[in-house]
Structure 1
């Protein structure tokens, strides 16, 4: 869906992005991560031509982006940013319907689409349609921003630090909602963040950038297990990489069938992460947990030895 081929961006004598190549498949959630000034936001903005690239080529669905008029290109892509960019004097419903109005959709279709997205993003129409941005919490405003980015049903969604200004609880909730939303809509998403935990939680493809170059890219587990160099290893958490990997793996991957012995008193859900299971063990001073299904029925067990990957005969 998106191809960057030897793309460079220079601002005067400064090279912000230096000869990068990247392909993002249709339906993939690609996360660009790195320290401040590494070129990740510049890369994102070159995709919708908010910033023009200096060298190389950028293709969208096989076509060079400079073959499109800028306005046409941007209307094909949703764009969500940290500050939301909502018009303060417009209602929530009017903000969400911006791009469909520019595309001259019929009013009935716009209204239907706005209501559909508000429902999808947990913003009851009767409660939020006529509110103004100043009347929203940070999390609600970000939901409106995402709804507006999705309003014209674009194939591509670009997101630049969209959850960066939110408190940790709201941020984690919206991350979970974005993954669930992606599971239903299968958009091609390029997401920029400086938060490694957020990057690991969201990414199908993780792209680590430094000083305008791509240092390594691949599935998050690949990078955690085999970082390309000391920089990537440090950015991924150094000695904490084991815990970060545990946060990506479900309990079901390591659990064993129920044994004849008594069930462990402490329980963990089958779809909880191994990191959550380890936390329960440490907090409850338990070396074994009973694994339960969605109905809270026992389906297996997880020992500490099994959790850390030991080949125990249990």
Structure 2
């Protein structure tokens, strides 16, 4: 869906992005991560031509982006940023309907799309449609920003630190909502963040950048288990990588069948992460947990011995 071939961007004598090649498949959530100044936001903005690339080629669905008019290209892509970019004197409904209006959709279709997106993102039409950005919390404003990016049903969604200014609880909630949206809508998403936990939680493909170049890319578990070099290992958390990996795996993936022994008193959902399971074991001084399904019925068990030894036996 998106392909960068030998792409560079120079500002004077400085190369912000240097000979970068990247392929993002249709329906993939690709996260660019790295330290400040590594070129990740510049890369994102070259895809929709907010910044023009100096060398190389960028293709969208097999066509070079410079073959499109800039306005046409940008209307094919949703764009969500940290500051939301909402127009302060427009209502929520009007902000969301911006691109469909530019595309001259009929008013009834625009209203229907606004209602659909507000419902999808947990914003009551009656409560929020006529509010202004200043009347919203940070999390609500960010939901409106995502709704606006999705309004014209674009194939591609570009997101630049969209949750960076939010408190940890709201941020985690919106990360979960984004993954849920992605599972339903199957958009092609390029997401920029400097937060490694956020990157690992969201990415189908994780791209680690440094000095305008890609140091390593692949599935988050691949990078955690086999970092290409000391820089990638450090960025991924160094000795903390085991806990970061545990946050990506579910209890259901590691549970064992129920044993004939007495059922453990402490219970945990099969959907919980192994990190949550480890935390519960430490907090409750439990070496075994009963794993329960959505009806709270025991379906297996998890032991600390098995959990710690599983990595060794893989």
Residue in structure 2 matched with residue 212 of structure 1 by the alignment: 212
Partners of 1:114 and 1:310 lie apart in 2 by 48
Residue in structure 2 matched with residue 278 of structure 1 by the alignment: 278
Residues 15-26 of structure 1 aligned to structure 2 (within 5 Å): 15-26=15-26
Q: CA deviation at 1:311?
A: 8.8
Residue in structure 2 matched with residue 92 of structure 1 by the alignment: 92
Partners of 2:113 and 2:211 lie apart in 1 by 41
Q: CA deviation at 1:261?
A: 1.2
Gaps of 5+ in 1: none
Partners of 2:306 and 2:245 lie apart in 1 by 15
Q: CA deviation at 1:253?
A: 1.1
Partners of 2:162 and 2:25 lie apart in 1 by 22
Residue in structure 1 matched with residue 255 of structure 2 by the alignment: 255
Residue in structure 2 matched with residue 170 of structure 1 by the alignment: 170
Say whether 1:142 aligns with 2:142. yes
The 3 A distance-change label for structure 1 pair 47 and 310 is closer
Say whether 1:77 aligns with 2:115. no
Q: CA RMSD in A?
A: 0.9
Say whether 1:265 aligns with 2:265. yes
Say whether 1:158 aligns with 2:158. yes
Partners of 1:267 and 1:43 lie apart in 2 by 45
The 3 A distance-change label for structure 1 pair 93 and 258 is same
Partners of 1:210 and 1:310 lie apart in 2 by 33
Residue in structure 2 matched with residue 66 of structure 1 by the alignment: 66
Residue in structure 2 matched with residue 188 of structure 1 by the alignment: 188
Residue in structure 1 matched with residue 238 of structure 2 by the alignment: 238
3-state SS in 2 of match to 1:309: helix
TM-score in terms of structure 1 length: 0.99
3-state SS in 1 of match to 2:309: coil
Partners of 1:310 and 1:169 lie apart in 2 by 31
Partners of 2:194 and 2:144 lie apart in 1 by 22
Residue in structure 2 matched with residue 8 of structure 1 by the alignment: 8
Residue in structure 2 matched with residue 201 of structure 1 by the alignment: 201
Q: CA deviation at 1:310?
A: 4.1
3-state SS in 1 of match to 2:159: strand
Q: CA deviation at 1:307?
A: 1.2
Q: CA deviation at 1:309?
A: 3.0
Residue in structure 2 matched with residue 223 of structure 1 by the alignment: 223
For residues 226-257 of structure 1, give each alpha carbon's deviation from its aligned partner in whole angstroms, at most 9, with x where no partner exists.
00000000000000000000000011111100
**Number of positions where the alignment pairs a residue of Structure 1 with one of Structure 2:** 312
3-state SS in 2 of match to 1:201: helix
Gaps of 5+ in 2: none
TM-score in terms of structure 2 length: 0.99
Residue in structure 1 matched with residue 132 of structure 2 by the alignment: 132
Residue in structure 1 matched with residue 57 of structure 2 by the alignment: 57
